[in-house]
Amino acid sequence: MLKQKLEPLLQTKLDQLYECLQAYQKVIVAFSGGVDSTFLAEAAQHALGDNALAVTAISDSYPIREMRAAQDIAKQIGIRFETVNTHELDLEGYASNPTNRCYFCKTELFDKLRPIAEKYDVGMIVYGAIPDDVGDHRPGMDAAKRMGIQAPLIDVNLTKAEIREISKAWELPTWDKPAFACLSSRFPYGMRITRELLRQVDAAEQFLYDLGIRQFRVRHHGELARIELEAQEISRVLSKTVRKDISAHFKTLGYAHVTLDLQGYRSGSLNEGVTIT
């Protein structure tokens, strides 16, 4: 698994992570296929072998490409893998899109993981929260804490940068994967989330993905789509041909106006100007 030697501090943290996971004896990893959950799944597989199970949610709020990528990554890691259907849109606390929407999403996920844990006599569910998340607006972490879901990456203080460094040493395909958040994060708080709107945003972002753009968000403001890109990728969409193609495709999806945010990509931009309680 390890292709190169780690610095002593990273190796110490990794050994602590293995010890933490081994103490649980059997774990289910809430597995999205992102940087952190992939790293945690790899560590769990190393520490526990067949006593580790990765479970990915099949949800309207995640693109099909992300679910398929998670399955491929689990196969590469060699960890046991299952999927489970979640139905967060059926929850009014989620669909109404309040500022604590993620609380209901994570509650739904963990509620669906518990029967799987009981089926396999697994005593602990773990997820990929990291120290970088602490202190940010993360209502999903409140749900995890309330439900007794563990965050071993926080317990051993492995940061995002360190996780990427070790993931690179492990040759995991996610070591440099851009950050991703569920599609519901594309809507201003208070705008009701529906399957139709999620599909609209998903189709818009898939078009950008197919253009080869790595980091993007399509923020949904009714008939207006606001595209966020990283600074180095903004120039890629400034040519007349690409701008025309994006605008034309987005309009087939139902957007009357297509804009490029000059501030570029930033995580949680829809939190700007919003009072979070």
pLDDT of residue 3: 58
**CA dist., res. 170 & res. 31, Å (int):** 18
How many other CB atoms are there within 10 angstroms of residue 221's CB atom? 15
Other Cβ atoms less than 10 A from the Cβ of 131: the count is 16
CA distance 16 to 156: 6
d(CA 204, CA 209): 9
Position 137 scores a pLDDT of 79
Identify the three-state secondary structure at position 140: helix
Structure tokens at 106: 């994570």
The rounded distance, in Å, linking the Cα atoms of 59 and 73 is 18
Q: What is the pLDDT tens value at each position of the chain, 277 positions in all?
A: 555 789 999 999 999 999 999 999 999 999 999 999 999 999 999 999 999 999 999 999 999 999 999 999 999 999 999 999 999 999 999 999 999 999 999 999 999 999 999 999 999 999 999 999 887 778 999 999 999 999 999 999 999 999 999 999 999 999 999 999 999 999 999 999 999 999 999 999 999 999 999 999 999 999 999 999 999 899 889 999 999 999 999 999 999 999 999 999 987 666 665 565 5
Quick check: pTM over 0.85? yes
Angle, nearest 10°, between helix axes 35-48 and 160-169? 60
- Can you give the pLDDT at residue 266? 85
Smallest CA-to-CA distance from 109 within 126, 133, 96 is with 126
CB–CB of 116/55 below 8 Å? yes
Q: Please, what is the angle between helix 35-48 and helix 8-24, to 10°? A: 70
* DSSP annotation of 191: S
Q: Which domains does the chain have, with CATH numbers?
A: 8-169 (3.40.50.620), 183-271 (3.30.70)
Sheet containing 52-58: which strands, arranged edge to edge? 80-85, 52-58, 27-30, 124-126
CA torsion sign for 66, 68, 70, 73 is: negative
Name residue 226's amino acid.
Answer: R
Read off the DSSP letter of residue 6.
P
Region for residue 273 given its phi and psi (left: phi exceeds 0; alpha: psi -120 to 50; beta: otherwise): left
Hey, is 175 helix, strand or coil?
coil
Containing H/E element for 120?
none
* Residue 258 token pair: 């297509």
